[in-house]
Chain A
């Protein structure tokens, strides 16, 4: 048995705290990255489909959301078997639906957006959530949120008829790359 002084004890507690924080962040990244990549693939497909069939864009995005929610439960179940932690549960689903409802209220109730404005609003609205969440759980979320939001706005102002393919690339592709980058970290 050893004896230690208060300074050594404080240093040991600080080490414990630092490692625990890194484990929590790495676990959040590991679990979220799979969800982010999956949403990236869906968003990529949604944008391409909206470009090809613009009149069906509303239905396409409803299908993307439904597939995303179902996929999130599947990915979360897969993550749970590996880590014991559920990354998407009923509380997350409720938050997601409330978030969507507020977005619909803004874009349909308070104002009427053009298709291009809608295609800009939703990504930057979601990226705002990524950025805010990132302030608590890790800088990777902030980088993904701000990066995609900035490129979305650049596309809105600078890209002409190829806006949807641009969004497929930077929103869908951005999420896929961001998720893979997060996984590496």
Chain B
């Protein structure tokens, strides 16, 4: 059994981080696209993005395109490191069980 980051481990936050980490470092995902990819509701997704932002793992940028508001979420450098460490921990747990 191993210990790791509770912030990333929550299922929806794990999906958010997985989605953002699948993109190049500078690229972000719009809220609507992130909602489709994770299958989350507006409120749930917003709350979990806020948790990740408070931890410094994601950056949220709000802008207006014409009259429409657009929210874009991007991983921070700290978020990428934390996610990589989390994935490594998961792999270690599986490898440890196979030994």
A in complex with B: yes
Q: Which residues of the other chain, A, contact B4 by a CB distance below 8 angstroms?
A: 1-2, 4
Q: Give the number of residues in A that approach B within 8 Å (Cβ atoms).
A: 22
A residues bordering B, Cβ < 8 Å?
1-6, 9-10, 12-13, 15-16, 19-20, 22-24, 26-27, 83-85
A16 touches B9 (CB 8 A): no
In the A-B complex, the 5 residue pairs with the smallest Cβ-Cβ separation, listed nearest first, are: A84-B27, A6-B97, A20-B22, A9-B93, A23-B22
Offer 24 A-B interface pairs, CB within 8 angstroms, sorted by A. A1-B5, A2-B9, A4-B2, A4-B4, A5-B97, A6-B93, A9-B93, A10-B90, A10-B94, A13-B91, A13-B94, A15-B15, A16-B15, A16-B87, A19-B19, A22-B19, A23-B19, A24-B22, A26-B37, A83-B23, A83-B24, A84-B24, A84-B25, A85-B27
Q: Give the number of residues in B that approach A within 8 Å (Cβ atoms).
A: 33
Interface residues in B57-99 (C-beta closer than 8 Å to A): 87, 89-91, 93-94, 96-98
Give the Cβ gap from A10 to chain B, nearest Cβ, in Å.
6
B14 within 8 A of A: yes
Q: Looking at the complex, which one of A10, A12, A16, A84 makes contact with B23 (CB distance below 8 Å)? A: A84
A2 touches B6 (CB 8 A): yes
B residues bordering A, Cβ < 8 Å?
1-6, 9, 11, 14-15, 18-19, 21-27, 29, 33, 36-38, 87, 89-91, 93-94, 96-98
Most buried by B among A3, A15, A23: A23
Give the Cβ gap from B57 to chain A, nearest Cβ, in Å.
15
Q: A9-B90, A23-B23 are in contact. Are A4 and B1 (CB under 8 A)?
A: yes
Q: Which residues of the other chain, A, contact B98 by a CB distance below 8 angstroms?
A: 6
When chains A and B are docked, how far (Å) is the Cα of A23 from the Cα of B34?
A: 9
A84 touches B26 (CB 8 A): yes
Q: A4-B1, A22-B37 are in contact. Are A27 and B23 (CB under 8 A)?
A: yes
